[in-house]
Amino acid sequence: AQTVTQSQPEMSVQEAETVTLSCTYDTSESDYYLFWYKQPPSRQMILVIRQEAYKQQNATENRFSVNFQKAAKSFSLKISDSQLGDAAMYFCAYRRFNDYKLSFGAGTTVTVRA
Amino acid sequence: KAGVTQTPRYLIKTRGQQVTLSCSPISGHRSVSWYQQTPGQGLQFLFEYFSETQRNKGNFPGRFSGRQFSNSRSEMNVSTLELGDSALYLCASSSTSGITLGANVLTFGAGSRLTVL
């Protein structure tokens, strides 16, 4: 079974600053997908970024970027130029190469200070 | 393009009752998955349906069941409700056009908040 670990229950960042969220996972697979989802108080899960394990290049989506270290099984999310609207719970998720099931971490609550 | 629609958004039930939750996927999406979110257990996979067939099931008791209709709409049912079933139930839909199953992105609905008293 795949395990996803987010070791930071809460993170706080000043508006316009940068924050990095940690995620590690355990798998014996060589090909898989990793995701970061955002869940604001409205509860709707929103995809932030996706990384294919077979791609060495780190994924980037505007102010969001990841640091994917396959050998270390680490997948951190960096939020640059933090905005008030970034305040939410962030979930790291793993998915096998040929499967629909997502395995989620426990989540990290991000607070943005004005 | 309409998103994933879940109904009802909120509901309150008592122990022993049963509940049915509904999910309408994004038009054209044929895969529907259900997840349970609780403060203690986090997000857990319930099941996934494709073309009216359950393809994958999580580690939940038989009281949790689901189905998918020919228009891809899905329902999940929980019978003999227990206090521990109080949770946010999230539905997600996905297309099947990716090069692998895992490549298809899940789009989530806003969830149904179930409270069991």
Cα gap B100→B105, rounded to integer Å: 11
Q: Give the confidence band of B101 by pLDDT, cuts at 50, 70, 90.
A: low
Give the model confidence (pLDDT) of A32-42 as tens digits: 999 999 999 88
Predicted confidence at residue B1, as pLDDT, reads 65
3-state secondary structure chain B: CCCCEEECCEEEECCCCCEEEEEECCCCCCEEEEEEEECCCEEEEEEEEECCEEEEECCCCCCEEEEECCCCCEEEEECCCCHHHCEEEEEEEECCCCCCHHHCCCEECCCEEEEEC
Interface test with A, best of B26, B106, B113 (most A CBs within 10 A): B106
Looking at CA atoms only, how far is residue B91 from chain A in angstroms?
10
Cα gap B92→B4, rounded to integer Å: 7
Q: Give the confidence band of B2 by pLDDT, cuts at 50, 70, 90.
A: confident
Amino acid at B15: R
Residues 47-86 of A with CB under 8 A from B: 47, 50, 52
pLDDT higher than threshold 80 for residue B76:
yes
Give the model confidence (pLDDT) of B78-97 as tens digits: 999 999 999 999 999 988 76
pLDDT higher than threshold 70 for residue B100:
no
- CA torsion sign for B26, A66, A72, A90 is negative
Please judge whether B43 and A91 are an interchain contact, meaning their C-beta atoms are less than 8 angstroms apart.
yes
The stretch A42-57 carries a mean pLDDT of 90
Give the model confidence (pLDDT) of B17-54 as tens digits: 999 999 999 998 999 999 999 998 999 999 999 989 99
